[in-house]
């Protein structure tokens, strides 16, 4: 499923116009992104947690030249699935997730 599929499905399930559904989906993604940019955490009980982690600077090697290179510190987004999502995915019956 891509973003357009998600927007269409949200419109179908909620009865919203597709344009309103797109605004809602974009608003959710924008809020998660803005919170992560501010090094915050978005915790959706039963679904999962979005947060950031810092990857320390390290040394690597250029595979072509074997030259040692410095890899700078970076901040990475991280998602940890919640219990409800894990159970829904592992449920052999397929069914939906209850929250």
Q: Is residue 93 part of a domain?
A: no
In a domain, 38, yes or no: yes
**List of E strands, the chain:** 42-44, 48-55, 58-61, 68-71, 74-81
Which of the four pLDDT bands, split at 50, 70 and 90, describes residue 95?
A: low
Residue 32 belongs to some domain of the structure: yes
Which residue range forms the structural domain that includes residue 62?
A: 3-84
> Which domain CATH number covers 51?
4.10.520.10
Please indicate, yes or no, if residue 94 is contained in any of the structural domains.
Answer: no
- pTM summary value: 0.77
Calpha distance 53→38 (Å, rounded): 12
The number of distinct structural domains making up the chain is: 1
CA distance 84 to 80: 12
pLDDT of 92 strictly over 60: no
pLDDT over threshold 90, residue 77: yes
Over the stretch 9-56, which tens digit does the pLDDT of each residue have?
999 999 999 999 999 999 999 999 999 999 999 999 999 999 999 999
pLDDT, residue 91, reads: 87
> Is residue 91 domain-resident?
no
């Amino acid at each position: 499923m891509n973003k357009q599929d998600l927007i269409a499905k949200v419109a179908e399930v909620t009865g919203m116009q597709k344009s309103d559904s797109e605004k809602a989906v974009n608003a959710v993604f924008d809020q998660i992104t803005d919170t992560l940019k501010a090094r915050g955490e978005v915790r959706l009980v039963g679904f999962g947690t979005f947060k950031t982690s810092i990857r320390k600077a390290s040394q690597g090697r250029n595979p072509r030249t074997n030259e040692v290179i410095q890899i700078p510190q970076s901040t990475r987004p991280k998602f940890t699935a919640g219990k409800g999502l894990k159970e829904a995915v592992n449920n052999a019956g397929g069914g939906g997730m209850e929250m």
